[in-house]
C-alpha cells in the first residue's frame, strides 16, 4: 500500500434489521459504480449518514500529489428511502459517477429503483452534470455551482421511468457508455447510451428480458472496457426460478466502437443481433448444474470477469457458498472450471499475463494472482493492520489498485477510506 486517506467520517450505512430499517442490503456508500480515476484525480460518490441526512455527496482528490486534500460537494438531493419511506434504506439506489475527457464534464446518476413518474414525479430518474471544463479545476473552484440542476433525462423528451442500476464505462477516446435496467427483478430490459462530442445519444436495448415465460429474465453483472472493446459479463435472474435462488448461468458478449446495435459479437467472435432475447444465445456455462449442492441452487450476485490482452476469458462466481472459476485460455474453444481452494471472491482484473483477484480477508485487502489462462492462484499480499472494512469497490488503473472502502464500525454514519496499492506488475 502506497497511500491511505480518509474520505469522510460519515458515509451512510443502513444499520439495524433488514425489512425494518432497510431493504435488500445494508450497503449504500462505497457501493455500485461509485469511483472514477481520471487524469490524476479520483472521484468518489457517496451519501452522508445517518438516516436523518442522506445527502448525495461527491468527493475529489489529486492522487499524484501526496499532500492533496479531499474536496467534497454536498448536494441538496437526499436518498429517497425504500419507495419513499425516508426511515428505511434501499441499497439499490447507488450513486454512479463518471468523467468524460472529451469535455471534462462530471456526470452523476443516482438514487433510482424502478420508480414511475405517476408515483414519484420528482424522483424517478436523477441526473446531474457539470458544465464543460469543470472536472479538473482548482480545488477552490470545484463547487456545487459547477453542476446543473437535477434532470430527469439524458436526452430531453425521452422517457427514463423505471430505471435501476445505472453504471458508466469510459473508452480511450473519452466517450462514456452508460448502462441501466428498465423494469424489475426477473423482468428487465437493459439499455445503453453513449456520450460523445455531440452529447448523449438515444438509448437502445441490448438485452430484452421482458419476453414470454418461461424465458423471461433480467441481467446481473457488469460491463468493462478492456483492449478497446466493451465487454459484458453477467448472470441472469429468471422470472420463474424453480431451479435457482436468485441468479444462474454465465453469459458474455462484447461490442466494438462505436458500440451501436450492429457492433456486438459473441464469445466466438460471431456477430449477434440486438437486442438479445433468449439469453441462452450468449450462454457460456451453467455453474449451478456443475457445482450446485442445494435444491434449489443459490447464486445471489453477478459474476466477476476479465478478458486479457491476448484473449483469455475468466469468470468467477459463487454457487451455494463456494467460489467457482471458469476460464478459457486464448486460442482455445473450450472452458475449464474449478471450485473451492484459493479462488478469490472479490474483484477480478488482468494485466499482461497476470490475473489479479482482490478481496477482503478479516476486513482488509488481500490480493491473489495467477497466470492468465490458468487456475494457479497464489496469495501475494495481505494487509494485516489498520482499519477493518465491511465492503469495498476497486479499480485498476496504470498498475495501481484503488480501493474505496467503508469501515466496519457501528451506526448509520461510518468512515470511508481510499487505499492505493502498487501492484508492481512489470515482471523482471
Neighbours of 348 (CB within 10 A): 23
User: Does the annotation count 92 as an active-site position?
Assistant: yes
DSSP string, 120-151: -TTTS--EEEBPTT-TTS-GGG--GGGBPPPB
CA–CA gap between residue 368 and residue 352 (Å, rounded):
15
152 close to 159: Cβ distance less than 8 angstroms: no
- Choose the catalytic residue: 31, 79, 92, 231: 92
The Cα 298–Cα 256 span in angstroms is 34
Query: 184: which strand partners?
Result: 187
For every residue of 342-409, DSSP letters joined together read T---SEEEEETTEEEEEEEETTEEEEEEEETTS---EEEEE--SS--EEEEEEEEETTEEEEEEEE--
| Strand-pair partners of 400 | 397, 422
What are the cell numbers at 7? 474520505
What lies within 8 Å, CB to CB, of 277 at 6+ separation is 208, 211, 215
Which residue numbers are catalytic?
92
Amino acid at each position: 500500500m502506497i497511500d491511505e486517506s480518509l474520505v469522510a467520517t460519515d458515509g451512510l450505512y443502513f444499520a439495524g434489521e433488514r425489512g425494518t430499517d432497510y431493504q435488500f442490503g445494508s450497503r449504500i456508500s462505497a457501493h455500485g459504480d461509485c469511483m472514477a480515476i481520471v487524469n490524476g484525480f479520483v472521484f468518489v460518490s457517496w451519501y452522508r449518514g445517518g438516516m436523518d441526512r442522506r445527502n448525495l455527496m461527491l468527493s475529489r482528490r489529486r492522487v499524484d500529489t501526496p499532500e492533496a486534500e479531499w474536496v467534497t460537494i454536498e448536494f441538496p438531493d437526499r436518498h429517497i428511502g425504500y419507495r419513499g419511506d425516508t426511515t428505511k434504506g434501499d441499497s439499490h439506489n447507488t450513486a454512479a459517477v463518471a468523467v468524460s475527457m472529451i469535455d471534462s464534464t462530471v456526470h452523476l446518476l443516482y438514487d433510482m429503483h424502478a420508480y414511475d413518474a405517476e408515483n414519484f414525479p420528482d424522483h424517478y430518474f436523477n441526473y446531474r452534470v457539470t458544465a464543460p471544463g469543470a472536472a479538473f479545476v482548482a480545488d477552490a473552484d470545484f463547487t456545487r455551482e459547477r453542476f446543473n440542476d437535477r434532470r430527469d433525462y439524458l436526452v430531453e423528451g425521452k422517457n427514463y421511468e423505471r430505471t435501476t442500476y445505472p453504471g458508466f464505462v469510459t473508452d480511450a477516446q473519452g466517450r462514456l457508455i452508460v448502462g441501466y435496467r428498465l423494469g424489475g427483478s426477473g423482468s428487465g430490459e437493459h439499455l445503453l447510451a453513449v456520450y460523445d462530442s455531440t452529447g448523449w445519444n438515444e438509448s437502445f436495448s441490448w438485452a430484452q428480458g421482458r419476453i414470454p415465460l418461461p424465458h423471461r429474465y433480467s441481467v446481473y453483472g457488469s460491463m468493462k472496457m478492456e483492449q478497446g472493446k466493451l465487454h459484458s459479463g453477467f448472470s441472469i435472474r429468471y422470472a420463474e426460478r424453480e431451479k435457482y435462488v436468485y441468479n444462474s448461468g454465465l453469459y458474455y458478449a462484447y461490442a466494438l466502437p462505436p458500440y451501436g446495435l450492429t457492433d456486438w459479437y459473441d464469445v466466438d467472435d460471431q456477430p449477434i443481433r440486438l437486442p438479445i432475447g433468449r439469453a441462452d444465445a450468449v450462454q457460456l456455462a451453467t455453474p449451478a448444474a456443475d457445482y450446485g449442492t442445494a435444491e434449489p441452487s443459490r447464486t445471489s450476485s453477478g459474476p466477476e470477469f476479465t478478458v486479457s490482452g491476448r484473449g483469455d476469458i475468466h469468470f468467477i462466481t459463487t454457487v451455494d457458498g463456494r467460489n467457482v472459476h471458469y476460464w478459457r485460455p486464448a486460442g482455445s474453444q473450450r472452458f475449464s472450471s474449478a471450485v473451492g481452494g484459493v479462488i478469490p471472491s472479490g474483484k477480478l482484473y488482468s494485466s499482461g499475463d497476470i490475473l489479479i483477484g482482490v478481496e477482503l480477508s478479516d476486513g482488509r485487502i488481500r490480493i491473489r494472482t495467477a497466470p492468465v489462462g490458468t487456475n494457479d492462484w497464489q496469495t501475494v499480499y495481505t494487509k494485516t493492520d489498520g482499519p477493518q472494512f465491511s465492503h469495498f469497490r476497486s479499480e485498476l488503473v496504470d498498475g495501481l489498485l484503488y480501493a474505496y472502502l467503508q469501515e466496519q464500525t457501528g451506526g448509520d454514519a461510518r468512515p470511508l477510506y481510499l487505499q492505493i496499492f502498487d501492484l508492481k506488475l512489470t515482471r523482471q
